[in-house]
């Protein structure tokens, strides 16, 4: 089992270390084809990639954070991330329908 952290933010990496979150591989660019059954992925991935992680037998943990408008677009520190309530929430995504080609 590999624990992946998908981020390009130094503050997020420092936050994870300070929180005692074990990480085997930290990557800025994620290739879902590298995921093996039992792997864990931490990040802020789009839902279609979360689906692919789950389909391959991996578990996905979303880095949730409530960033106020004045802090958006700024590089956050580990302390900022704690201040804004960062936490990991596990999600399992399944596909329900085919792609829609017309408006819902």
The pLDDT tens digits for 42-76 are 999 999 999 999 999 999 999 999 999 999 999 99
8 Å CB contact between 63 and 86: yes
* pLDDT interval class at 95 (50, 70, 90): confident
- Give the pLDDT mean for 72-99: 92
H/E stretch holding 59 reads strand 59-64
Record the pTM.
0.89
How high does pLDDT run on average in the chain?
94
Q: Whose structure tokens read 């520190």?
A: 77
Going across the sheet that includes 40-43, the strands are 25-27, 3-6, 40-43, 59-64, 87-91
Give the residue with greater pLDDT, 95 vs 24: 24
Does the structure show a pLDDT above 70 at 104? no
Predicted confidence at residue 55, as pLDDT, reads: 96
Closest CA to 60 of 34, 45, 38, 41: 41
Distance (Å, whole) CA 96 – CA 54:
14
């Amino acid at each position: 089992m590999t624990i992946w952290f998908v981020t390009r933010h130094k503050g997020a990496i420092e936050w994870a270390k300070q929180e005692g979150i074990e990480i085997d591989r930290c990557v800025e660019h994620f290739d879902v084809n590298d995921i093996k059954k039992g792997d864990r992925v931490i990040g802020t991935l789009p839902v279609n990639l979360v689906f692919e992680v789950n389909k391959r037998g991996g578990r996905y943990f979303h880095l949730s954070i409530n960033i106020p408008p004045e802090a958006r677009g700024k590089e956050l520190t580990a302390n900022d991330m704690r201040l804004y309530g960062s936490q990991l929430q596990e999600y399992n995504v399944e596909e329900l329908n085919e792609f829609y080609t017309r408006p819902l």
